[in-house]
Structure 1
């Protein structure tokens, strides 16, 4: 998570000739864009402003990443269970209750 919200590039003309309302909207959109890439540095955010105009590309990309992460997490839990880890330890690692861990990842019939 970013310590300071991303507010867009500082050396750009993106905010030139905008009304105060338009500038506030642009700043908010840049802040949301920064939250879409919370592990990316401000310098590496340069060139990603196009995503403000095409946010569904980000939604699709993050949805793909989420599905992959969910599959990988399920496999990691299965490996932990196969190695004899108790549900309580898995729940602690997931930061959920044991009941929630079991209901989400116990694949036994």
Structure 2
């Protein structure tokens, strides 16, 4: 888990021109993003400033990733079931109950 974002990069003046309200808004937006990018360093987060200007780019990209991950997960569950893996083991791997896993992916049986 990454640390909470700090007030800004050291050794730069990119925030010097911001009013206190603009600074507070920018830092809140970085904090919101920081909760999503748990493995990114503070410096990497500050480099993602473009996301603040157009978060739809981020939404579209992650939407594509989610759809791909769902397809891959569905295929992985089908393969596991084909190989005889129990619904209990699949549920454990997905951090859900056996019943939840079977309800979500059970049409493959």
Q: Normalized against structure 1, the TM-score is what?
A: 0.83
What is residue 49 of structure 1 aligned with on the other side? 49
CA RMSD of aligned residues (A): 2.0
Are the counterparts in 2 of residues 9 and 46 from structure 1 also a CA contact under 8 Å?
yes
What is residue 101 of structure 1 aligned with on the other side? 101
What is residue 68 of structure 2 aligned with on the other side? 68
Are the counterparts in 2 of residues 6 and 35 from structure 1 also a CA contact under 8 Å?
no
What is residue 10 of structure 2 aligned with on the other side? 10
Q: Normalized against structure 2, the TM-score is what?
A: 0.83
1:45-84, CA deviations, whole angstroms, 9 ceiling, x for partnerless residues? 4532111101000000011111111111111111111110
CA distance in 2 between counterparts of 1:10 and 1:28 reads 18
Equivalences for residues 15-94 of structure 1 within 5 A: 15-94=15-94
Q: What are the ranges of 5 or more consecutive residues in structure 1 without an aligned counterpart?
A: none
Using the TM superposition, name which of 82-91 and 28-37 deviates more. Answer: 28-37
Runs of 4+ in 1 over 6 A off after TM superposition: none
Number of residue equivalences: 108
1:81-103, CA deviations, whole angstroms, 9 ceiling, x for partnerless residues? 11101111111111111111011
